[in-house]
Amino acid sequence: MATPPKTMFEKVWDAHVVVPETPDTPAVLFIDLHLTHEVTTPQAYTELRNRGLKLRRPDLTLATMDHSTPTRTEQVFGGAPIAVDSAAKQVRQLEINAREFGVELFDLRDARRGIVHIIGPELGITQPGKTIVCGDSHTSTHGAFGALAFGIGTTEVGHVLATQCLLQRKPKTFAINVIDDLPKGVTAKDLILAIIGRIGVSGGTGHVLEYRGRAIEKLSMDERMTICNMSIEAGARAGMIAPDATTFEYLKNTPRAPRGADWDAAVARWSRLPTDAGAFFDRSVDIDAASLVPMVTYGTHPGMVAPITGSVPASGDAVFEKALKYMGLEAGEPIGNVPVNNVFVGSCTNGRLSDLRNAANVLRGHKLAQGVKMLVVPGSQSVKRAAEAEGLDKIFTAAGAEWRESGCSMCLGMNGDLVPAGHYSISTSNRNFEGRQGVGARTLLASPQTAAASAIRGRVTDPREFS
């Protein structure tokens, strides 16, 4: 009998079941790659130590430092200490844990260091068909390669360290069909913000999203990562995109991709991953890409998003009103009138080389508007070097922006890179929660192009005015 058609998610899931689930017990699922960082691991290592356990698969585990690390060159490479004491201690603790348990660590001065979700793909260890986890919700990023990748808590980090497995109930599937093509000047960031606006911040709860359709197939890997990255902002467990020639082209010759005959075998295997015709999804939604324009958030979660050409909507809801009050905005206000004091280009959503190019192309030959502060933080040291080789850093600094070492930085403000209270910050990151970029900071999420255009005018600006 022919096997029934399967979704890509089911193929990856089925290939990793160590012990099948029963009504009484979840499945034991094998994890192919465990990415780790300084913030969500210390308590997991303590647990291992207390129980006298070893790391089961150091060869499938990688550690980097990104969340609480400084971005000022003198703090990373000079003698200046890390400004936040507890952050310095946490970074040291990761060094101790990595040494004791035998984990490969890209430490502060390592040329391969960067945001955990940027370096996995760069190294070529993010691959189609893998199960990938990390104590970080944006692990969904790696789904852009056709991997099943999701964030876990610290207890589960401990489970993976000790057993290379997780206890999991099988999630449901949700097809996001993106119909038609994205218009010129509308980016992957605008598309994912529109998708979140449409399905809501809990619309994907319990589901693995699969982004499908012509607009998705045409996206570069960087753009696909931007899309999958924000799956968690729709509440989804994970987001996936089918691997294709674009995926293979990206991975080929990355430092840790398979070589020679292994490469050919891998491509043959990966080519069987896309969802079979007629496979069943628990839910689906159609998104018309052709009608989209650049998108900007105006509230305190990523679902509060509007077209840049539109205005702040009205709602009788008290929670909505509270969000607008926090943002200092009123219903009916044109989005294009919102002032901008701070600009952040970076993060695992938009901190890759093409993102920096897109921002630099808008900024070239311009200056930041009076009073605007702009921080450009590459997603990894390798992105930083590549950007400098192209002279992008010069474009940013000539405009008056600051150019930093890589890290999470102002995406979550753990390292001291903060937006002052009351300031409007247009940011290429993924979360506009209250206080995310600093106590009282007012975050507007947007694409690198929109961030750069807004930096020039000092208010939210449609980047298509500069093309």
Give the Cα-Cα-Cα angle 411, 416, 418 (nearest 5 degrees). Answer: 55
352/373 with CB nearer ligand SF4: 352
Q: Is 33 in the site for another protein (CB under 8 A)?
A: yes
Based on the shown chain and the rule CB under 6 A, indicate whether residue 430 belongs to the binding site for ligand SF4.
Answer: yes
Residues in 178-207 at the binding interface with another protein, rule: CB under 8 A: 201-202, 205-206
When asked if residue 130 is in the footprint of another protein (CB under 8 A), the reply is: yes
Q: Give the integer Cα–Cα distance in Å for 140 and 21.
A: 23
What residues numbered 216-235 form the site for another protein, per CB under 8 A?
Answer: 232, 235
Check binding of 282 to another protein (CB under 8 A): no
Structure tokens at 265: 């075998």
The alpha carbon dihedral of 204, 210, 213, 219 has a sign of: positive
Distance of closest approach, residue 151 Cβ to another protein, in angstroms: 4
DSSP 2: P
The entry of ligand SF4, another protein, none near residue 235 (CB within 5 to 8 angstroms by kind) is another protein
Q: Judge contact between 460 and 450, C-beta under 8 A.
A: yes
Residues 172-231 that bind ligand SF4 (CB under 6 A): none
Does 49 help bind another protein (rule: CB under 8 A)? no
Among 72, 163, 254, 283, binds another protein (CB under 8 A): 163
Q: What are phi and psi of 62, to 5 degrees?
A: -135, 140
Pick one of another protein, ligand SF4, none as the site partner of residue 275 (Cβ within 5 to 8 A by kind): none
Is residue 429 within 8 A of residue 344, CB to CB? The reply is yes
Q: Is 137 in the site for another protein (CB under 8 A)?
A: yes
* Under rule CB under 8 A, residue 258 binds another protein: yes
Which tokens go with 87?
């952050």
Query: Of how many residues is the chain composed?
Result: 467
Residue whose C-alpha is closest to residue 86's, from 417, 414, 442: 414
d(CA 126, CA 142): 6
List residues bridging with 27 in a β-sheet.
Answer: 168
Smallest gap from residue 372 Cβ to another protein (A) = 24
Among another protein, ligand SF4, none, partner that 129 touches (CB below 5 to 8 angstroms by kind): another protein
Token pair of 137, please? 């919700």
Quote the Cα angle for 67-70-71, to 5°. 105
Residue 136 in the binding site for ligand SF4 (CB under 6 A): yes
Site for ligand SF4 in 89-118 (CB under 6 A): 115, 117
Among 35, 55, 60, 455, binds another protein (CB under 8 A): 60
Strands (E), 308-401: 342-345, 373-376
CA distance 83 to 75: 8
Nearer to ligand SF4, 153 or 328 (CB): 153
The owner of tokens 């709602």 is: 315
Instruction: Please tell me whether residue 319 binds another protein under the rule CB under 8 A.
Output: yes
- Give the footprint of ligand SF4 on residues 45-74 (CB under 6 A): 66-67
Does 289 contact ligand SF4 by CB under 6 A?
Answer: no
d(CA 427, CA 185): 18
Residue from the set 27, 353, 408, 460 that interacts with ligand SF4 by CB under 6 A = 408
Q: Which residues bind ligand SF4 (CB under 6 A)?
A: 66-67, 115, 117, 136, 138, 347-348, 408, 411-412, 429-430
